[in-house]
Amino acid sequence: MRILIKGGVWKNTEDEILKAAVMKYGKNQWARISSLLTRKTPKQCKARWFDWLDPSIKKTEWSKEEDEKLLHLAKLMPTQWRTIAPIVGRTPAQCLERYHKLLDEAEAGDEEGGPNSDDVRKLRPGEIDPEPETKPARPDPVDMDEDEKEMLSEARARLANTQGKKAKRKAREKQLEEARRLTALQKRRELKAAGIETKVFKKLNGMNYNADIPFYKPQPAGFWDINDEIAREKVEKTNLTNELLSKLEGKRRMEIEEVERKKDFKRQKTKKEQGEYVPPQALRALKALEMTPRGKLFLPAPQVSEIELEEIVKMGVAGENVRAIVQSGEDGSSSLLSDYSTFRAPTPLRTPRAAAGSQDSLMLQARNLRAMTESQTPLLGGTVDLEGNVDFSGATPKRSILATPNPLAANLTPRHNQEGGAAGQSDAYSVGGTPRSNATVGGLFGHTPLRDQMGINTPRSEFSGMGGGETPQAFRQQQEMLRKQLSEHFASLPKPKNDFEIVVSDSDSDDVDFNTADASGMDMEEDTEDVLNRAMEQRKQDADIKRQLRSMVVQRDLPRPVVSLRLLEQLYSENDGIVEPDSCDDLIRQEKALLLQRDITLYPSQNQPPLQKSGVLPKFEKISLDLLTKANKLVQEEIEMIRQSLESKHVSDSHPDTATGYPNPDEFAAIHDSLSSLSVYDPSKSTYVNSSSLSSSDHRTLLKAQLDAYRETMKQHAIKAQKLEKRLGVTLGGYMSRSKVLQKDLSNVFTSLESSLLSLQGFRAVQALEGQAFDARVYRSRKELEKLAMMEQDLQDAYRFKTQHRDELLSTMQSA
């Protein structure tokens, strides 16, 4: 019997069957999918799809950034490949394989002549691949086995059968629905031919999400006009209807990778045609050679023997002895010798080293991870020596910045040389960088240093630049040159922006009156703040004057009559004959109409409706504040004269009040009612007419219209009152209920307080009565106590007598 073990290498046929099965059954029914593949388990099918066949898997070459991120995350989260894979953008198997490959390359770089990463991971003859799901499929053989042919035919039959029981039922229901639709359509056509129109209502079980927006709340209207934005949105919507879905969604990741693969293939093909293509194996081999450690360094034989070194030392000792003998003598001889023992020889010219951080950070991290993997645990005493700076600060690795060394950077500092002063300066007094020691005089690398401690070869200009001229003429020249340089420096200063001129007053007195500075000829610039304050005060005064020039109705913001300008113009121009023309009353009436017209036009109230101007408005006469003040004064004097004349006539209490000169409230109300009854508002003419000139029917009609207007106003007020009552009921409902509860609690507390007060009064009365009867009860109790004590004493005496008598009788009986 043949035993079939599931697993092994995947073939091209199995991959195609797996793709078709995933397209039909989805990515969750792996048991059903594996039933099509006789040699694979559900777990292997799932691993094959998610590790190789999934179109979202990235199979391009690893970049250096991905390698650095992989090593850094492996350092932070060891062995957590399913967590690392989404961050890197690869599958866990790819991350693990790449990680081991980097470690093998790092290990091969440390060992000279060792095997490369491909040789280490290559399967030996007889070994079985532990992860065949991550390898490319093997091509199908020409002659397949019988079980493979049977599997292929069964998969073809099952995958081609898309008409199951459910599918057949759906098709049947769809056919019935189509028949019903055609029947209804034919019925509507017949009714339409008969002249009967019917509306088609599309039944919706819920909201039409294609036409409506669920839970949509329109934005409240704001202050600014947004009609332009709404029109632009409508235009954009119409332009957006013909857009392709692919254009809106953009390119998919699979398409981008396909384009990148084509570009890589085209680039490799171009390099092959030009002869510049290098296989990846050759690049890895070249990189392995570059990582090979250097051989031992063999230095040349010394050019100076030991005997010559001893002679040089003896010569130096002899020179020191001679110098010691000379210094012990006169000072004149010591000044002729110089000390060269502390002279520092120049550094020989050589190729500079690279920067300390110029090594490959990728290989450094790989070697560190290799050392961490092979180290023992801390319980066994294992320690790990890591190279470089190990950083665990974040998930993203830090970039290594390679700097090119500059061998001439040491000579960029200005110094004093023998050719005169600091480098780049014209004299010794110029300001430059920090001067270097004289011991390094000689310029760049490789120059022979000059031994000139005594200044024999130093030019005189350097000593003269230090202020020590040899002759008076040289000293004067040096001073002249310094003065010239100083004047040149002053001439290079920028020109002054402001010119100041100081004028000394001829007056002998030191006290100056700054308030009279303009009169005496002193011009003093005024402060800006004072100018602004004075302008603000002036504006306030102007505004106050303008406010006083307005009528008292506008100043007090009293309501103005809302009448048409046409009526005011008619009142202004016409004369009804009651008042004589050009009389005082006529002038006052005209001025009143003019004031009303000006207030309505120039100073409308807050809720006043806009008025339609008819004709050309008359020009308003501008009156000064002085004239207005004089007019008000004359009016007050006239009022005072009228009041005094009324007081002199001794009018009774039913007439105007003698104390104030004005009618009392009752008299004023009666006069107002009588005057109001003389005129009636005519809606047809939009004006008030005299009631005496109307007939009874017209008067009744006007009164009825007025009553209807009052009723309409009353209804409007009633509706507003109801709305306000409802709103207040909603707003104050909680407070009202709370008030009722508190009122009930307050009544309960008040009731308990009253009962407590009554109890307190009763207890106080009882206390008073008890206080009065307390002494009598105490006296009675003491008397009873004394009486009981006496009775007890008598009884004790009687008991003692009886006891003695009994003892005597007993003793007599015993003796007898």
- Listed in sequence order, the DSSP H helices in 223-327 are 227-240, 245-249, 253-274, 280-290, 306-327
Q: φ, ψ for residue 416 (rounded to 5)?
A: -85, 130
pLDDT in tens, 312-354: 888 888 877 777 776 665 555 555 555 555 545 445 445 445 4
Q: Which residues on neighbouring strands pair with residue 422, listed in sequence order? A: 416
The model's pLDDT over 491-501, given as tens digits with 9 standing for 90+, comes to 877 777 666 66
Residue 309, judged by CB atoms within 10 A of its CB (0-12, 13-18, 19+), counts as exposed
- Please give the pLDDT value at position 222: 83
Which runs of E-coded beta strand occur in 179-257? Answer: none
Residue 738 has pLDDT above 80, yes or no: yes
Cβ neighbours of residue 144 under 8 Å, at least 6 residues apart? 13, 152
- For 245-257, the three-class secondary structure string (H helix, E strand, C coil) is HHHHHCCCHHHHH
**Per DSSP, what are the bridge partners of residue 688?**
681
Give the model confidence (pLDDT) of 53-74 as tens digits: 999 999 999 999 999 999 999 9
Mind listing the pLDDT tens digit for each residue in 70-119?
999 999 999 899 999 999 999 999 999 999 999 988 887 766 555 565 66
- Residue-level pLDDT at 516: 46
Helices and strands: H and E segment counts in the chain: 26, 2
Considering 128-132, 168-172, 717-721, the range whose residues carry the highest mean pLDDT is 717-721
If one compares 722 and 281, the residue with the highest pLDDT of the two is: 722
- Model confidence at 356, in pLDDT bands (50, 70, 90)? very low
**Listed range (423-432, 518-527, 612-621) with the worst mean pLDDT:** 423-432
Q: What is the pLDDT of residue 397?
A: 64
Closest alpha carbon to 413 in 446, 452, 444, 450: 444
Q: Per-residue confidence at 666, pLDDT binned at 50, 70, 90?
A: confident
Closest CA to 95 of 72, 125, 120, 118: 72
Q: Are 100 and 141 in contact (CB under 8 A)?
A: no
Burial of 74 (0-12, 13-18, 19+ CB in 10 A): buried
For residue 366, with 0-12 CB atoms within 10 Å meaning exposed, 13-18 middle and 19 or more buried, which class applies? Answer: buried
Query: Predicted confidence band at 307 (pLDDT cuts at 50, 70, 90)?
Result: confident
The strand ranges marked E within 320-392 are none
* Three-state secondary structure string covering 406-449: CCCHHHHCCCECCCCCECCCCCCCCCCCCCCCHHHCCCCCCCCC
For 422, phi then psi, to 5°, come to -75, 155
- Which neighbouring-strand residues pair with 681? 688
Q: Which of 110, 91, 15, 109 is nearest to 53 (CA)?
A: 15
Taking alpha carbons only, the member of 439, 445, 438, 447 closest to residue 411 is 445
What residues contact 357, with CB distance under 8 A and at least 6 apart? Answer: 388, 400, 401, 402, 403
680 versus 487: which is more confidently predicted? 487
Mean pLDDT of 5-18: 90
DSSP structure string for 532-585: HHHHHHHHHHHHHHHHHHS-HHHHTTPPPP---HHHHHHHHH---SSSPTTSHH
Kindly state the tokens that stand for 398.
């830090």
| Helix or strand holding residue 10 (H, E) | none
99 vs 283, which has greater pLDDT? 99
pLDDT digits over 448-467, tens only?
A: 445 555 555 555 544 444 44
Question: Are the CB atoms for 701 and 689 separated by under 8 Å?
Answer: no
Q: In this predicted structure, what is the pLDDT of residue 65?
A: 92
CA distances from 259 to 249, 251, 417 (A): 17, 11, 64
| pLDDT over threshold 60, residue 424 | no
Angstrom CA distances, 486 to 420, 431, 465, 492, 626, stand at 20, 14, 15, 10, 73
Length reported for the chain? 816
Q: In b/e form, how buried is each residue of 550-577, taking b as 16+ CB within 10 angstroms?
A: eeebbeeeeebeeeebebbbebbeeeee
Q: Could you identify the residue written with the tokens 């009528």?
A: 551
pLDDT recorded at residue 441:
40
Q: Which residue has the tokens 């046929």?
A: 13
Q: Which two tokens stand for residue 497?
A: 């922006």
The 10 Å Cβ neighbour count of residue 94 is 22
The pLDDT of residue 437 is 42
Q: Which residue has the higher pLDDT, 564 or 181?
A: 181
**pLDDT at site 425:** 41
Query: Which whole number is the average pLDDT over 280-305?
Result: 75
Between CA 415 and CA 425 the distance in angstroms is 10
Model confidence at 277: pLDDT above 70: yes
* Contact between residue 48 and residue 342 where contact means Cβ atoms under 8 Å apart: no
Share of the chain above pLDDT 90, in %: 24
In eight-state DSSP terms, residue 689 is E
Mean pLDDT rounded to a whole number for the chain = 77
Q: End-to-end CA distance of the chain: give it in Å, rounded.
A: 140
Per-residue pLDDT averaged across 227-253, rounded? 80
Q: Is the pTM of this model over 0.75?
A: no
Query: Is 605:554 a contact under the CB 8 Å cutoff?
Result: no
Long-range contacts of the stretch 787-790 (C-beta < 8 A, 24+) = none
Give the pLDDT confidence score for residue 139 in this predicted structure: 92
pLDDT at 813 over 70: yes
Cα–Cα distance, 32 to 297 (Å, whole number): 68
The burial of 10, by beta-carbon neighbours within 10 Å (0-12 exposed, 13-18 middle, 19 or more buried), is given as buried
